[in-house]
Structures are given as structure tokens and as C-alpha cells.
Amino acid sequence: MGEIEGYQVRPGMFDVVGATALPAGVNFTVHTHDGTSCELLLFHNGEEEPYAVLPFPEAYKIGDVYSMIVFGLDIEEFEYAYRIDGPYDQKEGLLFDKTKVLLDPYAQAVTGQRVWGEQRTKSYHARVVRDLFDWGDMPQSRRELSDLVIYELHVRAFTMHESSGVAHRGTFSGLMEKIPYLKELGINAVELMPIFEFDETVNEREVDGNRLLECWGYNTVGFFAPNTSYTAARETNHEGTELKTLIRALHENGIEVILDVVFNHTAEGNDKGRTFSFKGFDNKIYYMLTPDGNYYNFSGCGNTLNCNHPVVRQMILECLRYWTVYYRVDGFRFDLASILGRNTDGSPMNNPPLLKSLAFDPILANVKLIAEAWDAGGMYQVGSFPASRRWAEWNGRYRDSMRGFLKGNCWEAWNAAWSICGSGDLYGGYYREHNERYAGYNSCVNFLTCHDGFTLYDLYAYNDKHNWNNGWSNTDGSDNNLSWNCGAEGQTDDPEVLKLRYRMIRNACAVLMCSRGTPMFLAGDEFGNTQYGNNNCYCQDNDIFWLDWTLLDKNRELFEFFKFMIDYRHRHTIIRKKLPDALCGMEGMHTHDLQAEKLTIPREARTFSVSFIGYDPEKGCDDFVYVSVNTYWEDVTITLPHLKAAGAWYLSVNTYGDENGRYFYPEGEETMITHEFVMRPRSVAIFTGKVFC
């Protein structure tokens, strides 16, 4: 035992990073490689000046790790931070400044962030968290990725609009109030845009009298702390309780939780950005630096995390373990994941140690790992990511080829056909049973829309982006949207244009839900949500980005179509994965030309079909699904395969609609089709084969 500043202290638990509450005190552990001394700062709640400064004695240091137990502290009565001294040499990447107040990189709660939009002009502090949450005996999900239907949403934007009808708008509790809606829709996984602590006021601007906040959440402040402004209740020293309650409720309703995580950069920015944590602890370790000490910018956000440095690699692994164990998260989607495969000098690595360590970590063994397999530095690794047969990818080829084909780019026919069939040319699965890099259909996340780009409605309402409200003269956001306005740009009252738009949305939904791999779509697509042509809403914390729930009643017919297609996918295992060979002897998957007997489609086909056939052990009979896509603007007659077993084809979906305005037919109400079927202009038809079981 020793005494510092009137506090009884002793060397701490060096292998337990962060701040940990003990029965008689608090253990503080932190590390710095090039720092020469460390001070612990204690603050009264909400105060900027420390009431106590406790320097770590040299005897309280092992290797690069400082650790100290401070006795007599009540975790409800203080906040904490650090100061690190050491050399300052910008060209060498050393930025130590003993006057800087630094946030603990392992902080489980960040103070001063409770009120959304309230700008913090001074330092970040941390708070000690006591975890009393009881998960009971809830088992971890063992669903395969290909069995999921993923629904991407932003916690705040999902319920912030006054039309959401929830009591706690824009919060984890507000999302929990919407669980009955999610169950009705039929999705079984939500992918939450970043919920780690971030500062939305970073780079705050005013444009045309409107306050712009970086609301998406991709500028991380603390990787171990939940965003406190997303909570309806104040959770002092119990931060994370509301989020855990949400996750438990989702699990109880059969819905998995995937977190969008950002390990490619932090909110500290470039050389003009603030020093509030990582820069002050070990700038040249946490960030990729050029030979002259500047920041590489492969993220497009000013700095790039040095992910394959052993210290950073360890932090990322510990972070993912923490969220898996203490929040029971089911998976992670890694933003700009190609950065995770870059070396400390920014060069691509053939066998990145970080990616392999995450792939084979025992704690993460059942967790979904999903890569956005590109970055802002020019790396594009869709189909070539170092996946170790463990990682999945956002299938960017699916998005681009299907967007193009569905709007009429016939030269995308072959890529579109591969995409519907599960992108076996990229990931294996059917045509190649063994793929050294990927795990077949469990490596493929198919999507047409996500937060980054047009909503599904806007994809068929705008030829061009309309990002003027962002304040960059419409220069931000992608110009390659592969969209089509169906004859009028933006809002219109033209009934023919609107009719075509909603048919194109149904086409997109039907194809997505009938493609091998895991479907993902953006929240609100199911009822025609619009962002008014803005394809980069990162700074629009307003009606542009918030979901307008009045559209659910207005477009109820579209919502019912999404419900049916999601349920259809759940009911037909053959769409999701390869099954044993069909008893009828028909092959398991094929493309088909207009005449079903022709199994090779023209390179520039405007109409083609895909068949999925196999024996479903749970049903005890063969499962037949035939998906036909017509992107031509006129009627096209197709034929259906002859069913070798006694049975017939039944029309389950026709996105053009029948004379009664019906677009789908529940089981038992389908229309039997003989051998031929007339595909109406720009439509999708789905047929279900029925045989005696």
C-alpha cells in the first residue's frame, strides 16, 4: 500500500485494461509505448478541472502498462481521464503533450455526450461502469448467415420523426417499441448503424439556416462505450443497460443484432483535428503515418487506424470480444474493411494477421463477420477479401449488376444471373463445392440499397443525386447510382410514372428475396421511404433522413408485398441454400432462356429465369422455385420446365399485377400455370412447383 494525494493506492491488475470497480476501490490500467509518465485525473461530475491528480509511480509500471488501484472511490462521484508526458516530434509521429486531457481508449462510458447535439468544447472524460445486467440462460444464436434477412437501420432516424408513434423517439427504447412491427415485417436480423460513442457535433456546420450534424455515427470517440444520447433514461454508472435490454428483447423475438463498427478511423481527424485520446497515448502506434509523420487517409476521414500493429490489433479483438460477451451481439459489419488488411505502411497484406485472428478467435466463433470489402484509398476486394472461409462480404457486384440489369442494362445479364444464383463465381457454393477463401452462400450479403446511397424509392425516382442541402454544391456522394426516374425527376403526380416506380420496387424486392446469399435492405424501403434524392445523408439529422411513418399507411400495399416476399423466402429453404438432390432427378440450379429447355442465356439477355430445385428433408418432398425476370418494355412469352414428377407450376408472384390488382398469391390461392406464361413489361414472376409429397 502507498499514498498519493491523500488516497490509499497499490499496484493494480496489469492485465485488466480500462477502469474496473472493485469492492473497496477502482482499478485503473492504461498503456503507452513512447510516453514517459502517466497521470490519473479525477473530476467531480460535470467539472472541467480535476479535483485530484495522481501520478503513477514507476513501481506501478510493468513494461508499457501503468496500473493502480485507488481505494475509497465511489464510482458515482467522479469522472476520470489521463495525461501522458513524452517526446514531441511531429515528423516522427510523436505528439505527447502533458497538458492534454486524454480519454481512456478502453472507457466503457463517455461523459458529456448525453444530450444529442450539445457541443462539447472541452475534454472528454470517462465514467466507471458497474455491470449488473442479467442475461439469464439465453443461448447464443446458431443461425447460418444465409438464413437471415437483414434490416439496416439508424437508431435515431428510425423513430425520430413525429409520425413514428413511439414514446421515446430516437432512442434504443424507441426502437424496442417497434419490435412488433419488425416481427410483422418478418425480418430476423437488424444491422444497427454505429452505436459506439461518437460526437455528432464534430464538423458541425450551418447551411441555409439549417444546422448540420454528422448523425450517421462514423466518427468514433470510444470503441467500448455505447452512445449515451441514444438512451431514453439517464444511466449514470450503468451505461449500456437500455441497449442490453433492447438486444435481449430482440433476441426474445427471434431477431439477431449486427453492429456496424468503424475500425478504419477515429474522430481525432488529421493534423488539424483534436487530440483527445489515441494521438496523446501513442499517435504513431494507433495511426498509419507517412514517412514524414503525416496521416495516411485511406478512410477519407482524415486519419487511418493502424489496424495490424499488434497493439491496435489487440484492442480491436478485445473490443469485439467485449461487445460479444457483455452485449450478446450476434455479428459485426466492418466499415471500409479493406483497411483492416493494410500493413502499417498502408500497403495491402496477403495474409493480414488481424483478419485471421478475428476469424479464428474462440469467443467470436459463432459471430457473423461481414466486410465492406473496399476502402477510400482505392482497394476493392469484393471476391478477393482475405476471408479465411469465415468472413462474409457486402456483395457490391450484386448491387451494381442487379441495379443495372433491372433498369434495362442488358449487358449486365450474365453478372445478374450469377448474382441471383449466389455469386458462385466469387464465393463458391454450388458450382465449386470448395473455395479456399470463402464459405459459399454464407459469404455473400446481397443488397440493392443501404444507408450509403439512394433509398429503394429514390432509386426509381431520380436519375441524379440531389445533395444540395449538404452544403458542398452537390459534389459529395456517388455519381454512379445506376438509377432511373421512370420518366420524371423526383416528386410527381403522374399516375403512370408512379405505377412504374412501384412496380420497379416490387421487382427489386422480389429478386433480392429470391437470390442465393443473405438479403439486406434499408429500413423504410418496405413502405417507399424517400430521402428526396439525397444519396449521402450523413449530415441530415432532420426530415430528409428520418423515416416518415405516414408512408406506411399510404403505401400499405407495398409493405404487404415485402412481408409476403420475406415470408416466401423463409418458407422455401431451396432459395437460401443447396439441398440434397431432388427425388424427381432435376438438377438443383440453372439459368434458363425464354424457352426453359435452353439452359444458356444470351450475354445481353433482357429476360431470363433461374430455377432452384432440391429435396427438403423437413418437408419430406422436393422444393421447386422458378424466378423469371423481364426487363424488356414489352410482353415476352416464356415456357416453364417440365416437372418430371407428377405436379404443376403455380404462379406465386407477378409484380405487374393481375386484373384485380393482386401482386402475390398466398399458399392455396396460387394460379396454376401450364407450360407458357406471358411476362408483362418490366416485371418479375415467381412460380412454385408442387408435387405429391
Q: Which residues touch 259 (CB under 8 Å, ≥6 apart)?
A: 191, 192, 194, 195, 323, 329, 331, 332, 333
Sign, CA dihedral 221-224-230-236, equals negative
Q: Which residues touch 348 (CB under 8 Å, ≥6 apart)?
A: 338, 341, 342, 379
Which candidate in 335, 400, 622, 623 is catalytic?
335
Cβ–Cβ < 8 Å for 544, 472: no
Q: Based on the residue annotation, tell me whether 560 is a catalytic residue of this protein.
A: no
Q: Are strands 150-153 and 518-522 parallel, antiparallel or unpaired?
A: parallel
Rounded to 5°, the CA angle 466-469-473 comes to: 70
Q: Are strands 683-691 and 647-654 parallel, antiparallel or unpaired?
A: antiparallel
Q: Based on the residue annotation, tell me whether 393 is a catalytic residue of this protein.
A: no
Which candidate in 197, 239, 242, 372 is catalytic?
372
Distance of CA 67 to the CA centre of its chain: 36
Tracing cell 476521414 back to the chain, one arrives at 301
Cβ–Cβ < 8 Å for 263, 375: no
Q: Where are the beta strands (DSSP E) in 243-399?
A: 256-261, 331-334, 368-371, 392-394
Q: Closest Cα to residue 172, out of 235, 91, 101? A: 235
- Which grid cell sits at 139? 443461448
Tracing cell 466486410 back to the chain, one arrives at 371
Query: What span, in angstroms and rounded, lies between the C-alpha atoms of 668 and 687?
Result: 13
Residues β-bridged to residue 673? 649
Query: What span, in angstroms and rounded, lies between the C-alpha atoms of 211 and 692?
Result: 63
SS3 484: coil
The DSSP-derived string for 312-345 is HHHHHHHHHHHHHHHS---EEEETTGGGGGB-TT
SS3 535: coil
CA diameter of the chain: 89
Q: Where are the beta strands (DSSP E) in 262-381?
A: 331-334, 368-371
Q: Are strands 150-153 and 189-192 parallel, antiparallel or unpaired?
A: parallel
Report, as residue numbers or ranges, the catalytic residues: 335, 372
